Structure 1
Amino acid sequence: MSDTEHDIYTVTLHHVDAKTEDADDSLPLIVIHGLLGSADNWRSHVKAWQENRRVIAVDLRNHGRSPHVEGMTYQAMSDDVLAVMDNLGIDQAHILGHSMGGKVAMTMARLAPQRVASLVVADIAPVAYSHGHDDVFAALNEVAVNRPANRRDADALLAKHVDARPIRLFLATNLERTTDNGQPVMGLRVGLEQIIKGYPDIVTVPAGDQPYYGPCLVLRGANSDYVSDAMLPALKQVLPNARVVTLKEAGHWLHADQPQAFQQAVESFVAAQSASC
């Protein structure tokens, strides 16, 4: 089975479905994480947004608690999320995606625009990227091979390849406690082998040939180069109605660097689109 051919089965994604009693009946918001992330990374944001609407945060294939399967094409990942919507009886939703999840969201918007009421893309452009994750993959593989006894030992293994502690803390969200011959060890819950095999599809452009003409907000970090000014023409070709907003003192993980500003920007945008529906 080839990652570059769309013969990959749709899988049932783990997801978190949140809504408070006081939330209105407007269209839900679906949140899609980035590479090596999960729905768990968005808990504080989901808690804030669910006060006003239903929020569904998904674990993409090979991430979080979702199945480990071959194939990381954007059409396959988009189909997985659309299947969640189908299973929940959701015809249309606001879609938010960060990084790799932003490309999944753009693919959904291009291939199934009738399902996307509005689009929020967080710090990613519809272009092919050259910067790799070899050090990150090597760090996670170090843990997978050595199966450390605890998180402290796991961090020491990650540090062999990744100097920055914030990145190691993020990678550590992919660790889970398990056993080896009856002894407690730290293992990986991420499908590392499948992700590495599918990596050429991850760094490429979103799937689809048509622009998405619906309302769109692109949030980028001022300290990130993932959505540079040079990329804006390409972005406008795919998302002609996009409004680009730069969050100060934020990098690629802008939702973690500036959580309040990020939450408010998303809430204001989605609320405005809900009011116009």
Structure 2
Amino acid sequence: MARIDIGSGNIGFVEAGGGPATPMILLHGVGSDKTVWHPQLEYFAASRRTIAFDYPGYGQSDPIPGADGETFARAILAAMTALEVEEAHICGLSLGGVIAISMHAHSPQRCKSLILADTFATHPEGQAILDRSISASSELGMRGLAEARVEALIAPGASDAVRAEVVETMSRIDPAAYASGAKAVWLADQRERVAAIACPTLILCGSEDRITPPSLSDDLKHRIPHAALVEIAGAGHLSNLEQPDIFNRVLDGFLAGIED
């Protein structure tokens, strides 16, 4: 794990792999950090440079006062530049998908493809989820919020190890960063932006996702007609962590198909 200076502060990241294949960028959700991507970092290191970032205020990244989703997107683009990554496959889960769409809106030429996992263009219950999240984080603290929310985040069949990892990761998040991230994801309305996506796009969704249910991925597919849509059986909201073997195989097949 390391940090890179983007001018407005340092951004935390972890990377693995290398070689001539187009790099892949991994963007985490509101209740986690870059470490959630360890199954993908291990798998894709064999074929390409793979980098997972923390948003400003998360993990090892410095906070940026007043940061919002646009700030997060610009920070990741700046971190890519600092690491000499001019073009990449951008893979984001939940909030990460929102940030990936924003990055494409700012710099489409830097997005070789988009992988949008367990995310949406706009969430019909976004304001209510935001209100509940902010209230619970204030009343319970981040560990209390994690313990109260974990069962909604993961599928009923998820392992105890996954459950424990989700709780520990969320417990480490700075409350101010969590509030910024929650506003960025739950109040997002990117219906116009997704209509402009022209690069190859893969939409992934856990079949048991109760936070961003498959209907929202269906809506994304309707708005991005050329996108491929794959439902991951047995996964909840954290499909990359709950069903990593399936997630990795589907993503690997998608990349092989557009890089041949």
Q: TM-score, normalised by structure 1?
A: 0.75
Q: Answer yes or no: is the 8 Å Cα contact 2:150–2:167 preserved in 1.
A: no
Q: 1:116 to 1:259 in 2, by over 3 A?
A: same
CA distance in 2, matches of 1:98, 1:115: 19
The verdict on how the C-alpha distance between 1:45 and 1:274 changes in structure 2, with shifts beyond 3 A counting, is: same
Match of 2:168 in 1: 172
| 1:102 maps onto 2:85 in alignment | no
Identity over aligned residues, as a percent? 23
Letter in 1 for 2:16: A
2:85 & 2:109 partners in 1: Cα distance?
Answer: 12
Report the Cα offset of residue 121 of structure 1: 0.7
CA–CA distance in structure 1, aligned partners of residues 146 and 55 of structure 2? 26
Q: Distance in 1 between matches of 2:79 and 2:234?
A: 35
Equivalent position amino acid for 1:50 in 2 = A
Are 1:91 and 2:86 counterparts?
yes
Question: 1:203 maps to what in 2?
Answer: 186
Partner of 1:246, secondary structure, is strand
SS of match in other structure, 1:245: strand
Q: Is the 8 A contact 1:224 1:250 kept in 2?
A: yes
Query: How many positions carry a matched residue from both structures?
Result: 239
Once residues 150 and 32 of structure 2 are traced to their aligned partners in structure 1, the CA distance between those partners, rounded to angstroms, is 19
* Cα 1:261/1:136, change in 2 over 3 Å: farther
CA distance in 2, matches of 1:138, 1:168: 19
Say which of 14, 17, 29 aligns to 2:15. 17
State how far apart, in whole Å, the 1-side matches of 2:10 and 2:251 are.
27
Mean alpha-carbon deviation: is it higher for 190-199 or for 53-62? 190-199
Indicate conservation of the 8 Å contact 1:125/1:235, yes or no: no
Matched, 1:191 2:199: no
Which aligned pairs between 1:54-69 and structure 2 lie closer than 5 A?
A: 54-69=49-64
Q: What secondary structure sits across from 2:19 in the alignment?
A: coil
Residue 272 (structure 1) shift: 2.2
Which one has a larger percent helix, Structure 1 or Structure 2? 2
**Would the aligned equivalents of 2:88 and 2:110 in 1 still touch at CA under 8 Å?**
yes
- What pairs with 1:3-42 in structure 2 (closer than 5 Å)? 10-19=8-17, 23-42=18-37
How far is the alpha carbon of 1:67 from its aligned partner? 1.4
- Per the alignment, residue 232 of structure 1 pairs with 218
Q: Does 1:260 align with 2:245?
A: yes
Inter-partner Cα distance in structure 1 for 2:199 and 2:117: 16
Q: CA deviation at 1:138?
A: 3.1
SS at match of 1:220: strand
> Which residue matches 2:256?
271
Corresponding position of 1:132: 129
* Structure 2 alignment gaps of length 5 or more: 1-6, 152-159
Q: Deviations over 1:87-110 (max 9, x none)?
A: 011110011000100110111122
Structure showing greater radius of gyration is 1
Q: Which residue of 2 aligns with 1:47?
A: 42
* RMSD over equivalenced CA pairs, Å: 2.9
When normalised by structure 2's length, the TM-score is: 0.79
The answer to whether the 8 Å contact 1:30/1:94 transfers is yes
Deviation of 1:251 (Å): 1.1
